[in-house]
Chains A and B, each alone.
Chain A
Amino acid sequence: MSFSRRQFVKGGVTAFTFGFAAPQAICDIAFAQGSAARNLVVVYLSGGNDSLSTVIPYRDANYATRRPTIAIPAANVLQIGSDSSSVELGLHPRLTGLKSIFDAGRLAVIQRTGYANQSRSHFTGFDIWGTASTTNTSGTGWLGRYLDGLPMPVDPLVAWNTQRETPRPLMARLVGVPAITSPATYAFSSPNSGTEAGYERTAQTRISSHIPVDRPHLAFVNSTTQAALGTLDRVATVATYRPANTYPTNGFGQALTAVAGAMNKQIGTKVFWVQTGGFDTHATQGVNQGAYFNLMATLNDGLKAFYDDLSAQGLLSSTLVLVYSEFGRRISENGSSGTDHGAGANMMVLGGAVRGGIYGTAPNLSLDPTNPTLENNASDVKWETDFRSVYAKILDSWLGSNSVSVLGGDYRAGAPNIL
């Protein structure tokens, strides 16, 4: 299965305040908040990525012996050099596009990210990564808190969720993030036509403009409707975007096309949420073909098309892409030629301002239970870099925010110097 999140922000709806600007002011705000400003694209790999198959310590003898049917042969990996502990690493053979971005110095691989006592549950794990908290996992998300900190009124398109459901990281108290799965179908239909259809749209806008403080759930729904109706016309311009290069036709490729379109049309969005699923590979991961190979194909081809598109448009320097998953997978393969839920894993960051390279150290895959790079009796990868320190780096050095207040703690120490 893949992940989804549960429970809305506790107290989030009750605390909900209508933070959107009136439609007429929107264009001004979008301009002021900066089409030229930096943006962040978060790519979530849903299901728990087996990152030992993404970035492979191919010379570690235990890698092959613990994964007799799914180890990628050393001869096939795309070598990217060694980390600071001299472990030689290679990308999955299908990641040829990411390899070229790595070679251009614009891809950072951060090894062994995670946190203490890592959850093996998809749902709890996703919420911990989303809230940046191991204790209050039903609260607002880290990106939501960043958006809440922007000067009000906030443009409704300040963030763009390409999924139907608002994911935990985007849960905010003040800002409702629009869910725009397809710009082309983001429209208001009518049983009537022409002027009569216009009357309906005007009326629906007026009816939903009532945001009662004493009925917070209704206020939440109505403000969502307001955000939808207030952004239709600008989103329609994104639907006209035709990239010069070819994106994959799958959902991930199409979502990234919309993101590039939003950048091209300069609508001012600062945070994009994109995800791709299928990473819960309990069975038949495969080697040179099969499930995991296809996952890497989707990831690689989408990101490479996006990177090339932005590069050609000169938008790369204002874009940062963060790739992560809710946990890594068990080191030893299971009996189904797959892997069960594990712990530490890699994050990846790419973009025009990224200091590319390999950060952190690879796990030593030996079965010695005292092996300090592993946990759970040497079954799983133990974290070395707190995932929140990567968030902190992005918040402080890329988005110009204050990570200590957004993350509710100081995670700046130990942050990889990726920017």
Chain B
Amino acid sequence: MLEHILRRMGFGASPADLAFWAGTSIDTVIDRLLNYESSSTDHDSKIGNPAYAGITTSSGNPFSANTLINDARQRWLFRMIHSQRPLEEKMALFWHNHFATAYSKLAGAVGQERATRLMDNDPASLAGSPAGQIQVLREFATGSFPGMLRAMAQHPAMVYWLDSQLNTRTRPQENFGREIMELFSLGIGNYTEADVYAAARVFTGYNWQVVGDRTSNTSSYYTFLYRPGDHDTNAKTFTFAIYPDGGKTIPARAAASGEQDALDLILALARHPATAQRLATRLYKFFVNETAEPDAALVNQVAQSYLANNYNIKAMLRTLFQSSQFRNPANFFQRYSWPIEFTVRAIKETGWTGFTVNSAMTPLTNMGQQLYEPPDVNGWATGPEWISTSSMLARMNFSSTLAGNQKFNLARDAQPYRTSPDRVLEYLLARFPNMGFTSTATGAMADYLRSTAWTGTDAQLQTRVPGLARLIVGSGEYQFN
């Protein structure tokens, strides 16, 4: 149970994590993982400390996680492995998929340094610079959904990603207006084409601007800008209620206060029952089970928690995590691990001493999930769609890379069991939690350990223990979360 909780509310458990939580009641574990606000945020200070996973900077440059995307990717992976607020990173990943924005389009427009800031800037890194999109998602991770929706609509990364800066009074352009309803809130079927056109007009005037020394890509940055002159001041009518009194029309407003149009629409979208249902369903599939039809009663309960608690995300999570379904063993390992989840869990369980997270970057791309680079605004195609022959090869081959890197540590850990291959097998099966193997599969593993006569020498352990580790981590049974 403990391991399940740590895997679902975070990214899995290292042997040290399991030891740390041993003896704490499950209710307390859940409470502390959920209410992480008082937990330490010192994870970044451990970067470079040899006791933790390593990072690799590019050709002699200092580690520049706010201005180089590959370093930002390493920092995020490092946090997922070592953060004492694993749920914060897990939710940031969930929301990254929900508000899917890709770095490459931004980099093409503003250069790699400023685009990296747009994605995940730490505001402390440059005076005046705003938090990057993912950092904003961390801040709202378990907070107000309307607040998050507004922060995304007004984030310069989103502005450029969905062309809001081109959407003006005389030339409406519907890219953002469509996606905020189709993907970020209501879901398809709950609005009409006319609503899309009206929403486009609502967001006219939303724009971005460069601030600071614009000749320097490292010391300038982008912020949100509302341009009243570009705003369509006419009334906009929708097919659904915008105001609590049922009113469907956003009134004509002076351009100077036209920014309010969008805030009215965002609040209406956030409190729409279709949004509550959609978010509840997505969270259920992410945290409970995605291989069976969602439990309608629990999804409704989660949606009600949202509507009854001022559209608060933590209220939904609390209902989910306190449910019996979350702890029901029938729901264990009933999600396909996202490539990121698979990779981080494999590292936490295998070990990281001397392993640089940079080695996971190309494998993650081959598995189909590069951070800050979702395939499109719809996010990654999850569930069974993660699985293809090439992505399975990438997962098997990453297992191989990791086990090879950790071969001496793995072999040393297995020394107490060296007297028989069956004991080694039992040890490794417990070390890498999985949905359970049949005797056919474990028989194949035992045969592997005996490919040549079992001696249990250090040399044999250093070959077969990493070999078996890669077989388990690369197996179908391990691909579930």
Pairwise interchain contact B376-A191, C-beta atoms closer than 8 A = no
Query: Which range contains the number of A residues in contact with the other chain?
Result: 35 or more
Contact count A vs B, C-beta below 8 Å: 195
**Bound complex: CA A160 to CA B170 (Å):** 47
Q: Which A residues are in CB contact (< 8 Å) with B475?
A: 204, 207-208
Partner pick for A179 among B171, B174, B384, B390, CB 8 A cutoff = B390
A242 lies within 8 A of chain B by Cβ: no
Tell me whether A203 is interfacial, beta carbon within 8 Å. yes
Interface string of B39-76 (1 = CB under 8 A from A): 00000000000000000000000000000000000000
Q: Is the Cβ of A161 less than 8 Å from the Cβ of B388?
A: yes
Main secondary structure of the interface of B (DSSP, over half): helix
Closest to A182 in B: B390
For chain A, what secondary structure do more than half of its interface residues adopt (helix, strand, loop), or is it mixed?
Answer: loop
Q: Are B378 and A6 in contact (CB under 8 A)?
A: yes
A265 contacts the other chain (CB 8 A): no
A218 contacts B476, C-beta separation under 8 Å: yes
Residues of A within 8 A of B400 (CB): 189-191, 200
- Whether A366 is near chain B, meaning CB under 8 Å from some CB there, is no
Interface membership of chain B positions 359-388, coded 1 if the CB is closer than 8 angstroms to chain A and 0 otherwise: 000000010100000011110110111011
Contacts of B390 in A (CB 8 A): 164, 178-181, 186, 228
Q: State in angstroms the CA–CA spacing of A185 and B396 once bound together.
A: 13
Chain B residues within an 8 Å CB radius of A283 = 163, 166, 173
Decide if A224 is an interface residue (CB 8 Å cutoff).
yes
**A1-43 CB contacts (< 8 Å) to partner B:** 1-8, 12-13
Counting CB contacts under 8 A, is A335 at the interface? yes
Q: How far, in Å, is B78 (CB) from chain A's closest CB?
A: 23
- A6→B379 CA distance, assembly (Å): 9
- The segment from A57-65, A118-126, A301-309, A354-362 that touches chain B is A118-126
Tell me if A4 and B375 are in contact (CB < 8 A).
yes
Name the segment of A147-155, A313-321, A336-344, A393-401 touching the other chain: A336-344
**Does B393 touch A at the CB level, under 8 Å?**
yes
CB < 8 Å neighbour of B444 from A7, A180, A207: A207
A181 vs B175: C-alpha distance when bound (angstroms): 30
> Whose C-beta in chain B lies nearest to the C-beta of A46?
B376
* A191-B407, A207-B444 as given contacts; A338 in contact with B173, CB under 8 Å: yes
Q: List A150-191 residues whose CB lies under 8 Å from chain B.
A: 161, 164-166, 176, 178-181, 185-191
The docked-state distance in angstroms from the alpha carbon of A150 to that of B35 is: 55
Cβ of A225 under 8 Å from chain B? yes
Contact across chains for A203 and B447 when beta carbons are under 8 A apart: yes
| CA of A123 to CA of B291, assembled, Å | 21
Are A2 and B438 within 8 A (Cβ)? Answer: no
Whole-angstrom distance between the alpha carbons of A215 and B366 in the complex? 26
- Roughly how many angstroms separate A1 CA and B179 CA in the complex, as a whole number? 10
The complex places the Cα of A203 from the Cα of B443 at a distance, in Å, of 10
List chain B residues, Cβ under 8 A from A189.
396-397, 400-401
A294 to chain B, nearest CB (A): 12
CB distance from B225 to the nearest CB of A (A): 17
State whether the Cβ of B471 lies closer than 8 Å to any Cβ in chain A: yes
Best-buried of B170, B196, B291, B375 by chain A (most CB within 10 Å):
B375
Indicate whether A222 reaches chain B with its CB closer than 8 angstroms.
Answer: yes
Q: B444–A165 contact, CB under 8 A? A: no
With A189-B401, A336-B166 in contact, do A228 and B392 touch (Cβ < 8 Å)? yes
| CB contact under 8 A between A188 and B385, given known A123-B378, A181-B390, A203-B447 | no
- Decide: A221 and B392 in contact? CB cutoff 8 A: yes
16 CB < 8 A contacts A-B: A6-B378, A123-B188, A179-B388, A191-B407, A203-B447, A203-B471, A204-B474, A207-B445, A217-B384, A221-B479, A225-B476, A283-B163, A334-B172, A334-B173, A336-B167, A341-B178
Q: Told that A1-B376, A217-B336 touch, could you supply 4 new A-B pairs with CB distance under 8 A?
A: A120-B193, A166-B385, A190-B470, A210-B440
